[in-house]
């Protein structure tokens, strides 16, 4: 929760995303009567505005950080997956120790299984969104690399000055690095979602001890010889 007192001092200032990219100037704040921020508006240029919901805002010591939309969505799904998995494990442990009646166990298990299926379906959609974001970032990285190659060629052919070359290249290198940072972050959350989906929730079953098998062929009986004492 971000309050009006925390945000108002950033009005008119440039705000950045989590990876340090400039998003524009913070020009407006919308808050409820309790002083809790509901949304802000950012001017990306002189005529384009973007509205950012409060859930995407993160207060840093000396800055207001805007989280990407995909991250807010994926963190919500991750938390729900983790919560339902922990509840399932707790329920199985209670059932294993016979600490709850069977009818209560069956009812709660059925409800949690339904919730788990629901959140897994949402997770599948979120993973597709993350994969699409990775593709967008990879396209942007390729574009930066192509532009850098073009500027480098013009510099090497003495068609632009060293000062212009350095200013352009430094900007693009920095922008490319931030794209790579976001790409790594997306990949990390994509991996975490898959792990949460696949994690074992069932109680560990005791493994049965394999009995030694009898020989397939019956061995011949050992002959018994009765020796009688002979009279002397």
| 43: three-class secondary structure by DSSP | strand
Q: Are 218 and 105 in contact (CB under 8 A)?
A: no
Q: Judge contact between 68 and 21, C-beta under 8 A.
A: no
List, in order, residues 6 or more apart from 189 with CB less than 8 Å away: 71, 74, 75, 78, 130
State the DSSP H helix or E strand holding residue 126, giving kind and residue range, or none if neither. helix 102-156
Three-state DSSP at 20 gives coil
**What confidence tens digit (pLDDT) does each residue in 38-58 have?**
999 999 998 999 999 999 999
| pTM of this structure | 0.80
CA distance 134 to 31: 34
3 forms beta bridges with: 36
In this predicted structure, the answer to whether residue 21 has a pLDDT above a threshold of 90 is yes
Instruction: Summarize the confidence of residues 53-81 as an average pLDDT.
Output: 94
Looking at residue 220, its pLDDT comes to 43
Supply the pLDDT for residue 200.
Answer: 56
Angle between helices 162-198 and 69-96 (to 10 degrees): 20
pLDDT in tens, 74-119: 999 999 999 999 999 999 999 999 999 999 999 999 999 999 999 9
Q: Which two tokens stand for residue 4?
A: 């009006």
Taking alpha carbons only, the member of 149, 86, 154 closest to residue 115 is: 86
Residue 214 pLDDT greater than 50, yes or no: no
Q: Is 130 exposed, middle or buried (0-12, 13-18, 19+ CB in 10 A)?
A: buried
pLDDT at 62 (0 to 100): 86
pLDDT of res. 229: 44
Residue 194 has pLDDT above 90, yes or no: yes
Residue with tokens 């897994």: 120
Cα(51)–Cα(42) distance, rounded to whole angstroms? 6
Looking at residue 217, what is its pLDDT?
A: 41
pLDDT, average across residues 175-182: 97
What is the Cα–Cα distance from 7 to 15, expressed in whole angstroms? 11
Give the span between the Cα atoms of 57 and 44, in whole angstroms: 17
Look at residues 116, 106, 120 and name the one whose alpha carbon lies nearest to residue 86. 116
- Band (pLDDT 50/70/90 cuts) for residue 209 is very low
Identify the pLDDT of residue 222: 41
pLDDT band at 61 (very low <50, low <70, confident <90, very high): confident
Average pLDDT of the residues of the chain: 87
The answer to whether the beta carbons of residues 162 and 170 sit under 8 Å apart is no
How many Å apart are CA 190 and CA 74, to the nearest integer?
9
pLDDT at 199: 64
């Amino acid at each position: 929760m971000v309050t009006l007192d925390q945000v108002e001092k950033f009005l008119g200032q440039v705000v950045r995303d989590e990876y340090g990219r400039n998003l524009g100037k913070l020009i407006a704040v919308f808050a409820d009567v309790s002083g809790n921020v509901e949304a802000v508006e950012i001017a990306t240029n002189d005529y384009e505005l973007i509205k950012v919901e409060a859930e995407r805002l993160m207060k840093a010591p000396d800055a207001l950080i805007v989280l990407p939309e995909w991250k807010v969505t994926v963190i919500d799904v991750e938390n729900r997956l983790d919560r339902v998995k922990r509840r399932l494990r707790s329920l199985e442990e209670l059932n294993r120790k016979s600490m709850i009646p069977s009818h209560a166990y069956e009812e709660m298990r059925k409800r949690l299984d339904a919730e788990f299926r629901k959140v897994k379906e949402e997770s599948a959609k979120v993973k597709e969104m993350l994969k699409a974001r990775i593709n967008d970032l990879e396209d942007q990285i390729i574009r930066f690399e192509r532009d850098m190659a073009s500027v480098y060629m013009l510099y090497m052919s003495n068609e632009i000055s060293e000062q212009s070359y350095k200013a352009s290249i430094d900007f693009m290198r920095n922008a490319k690095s931030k794209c790579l940072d976001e790409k790594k972050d997306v990949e990390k959350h994509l991996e975490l979602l898959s792990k949460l989906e696949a994690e074992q929730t069932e109680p560990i079953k005791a493994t049965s001890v394999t009995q030694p098998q009898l020989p397939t062929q019956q061995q011949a009986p050992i002959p018994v010889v009765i020796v009688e004492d002979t009279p002397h």
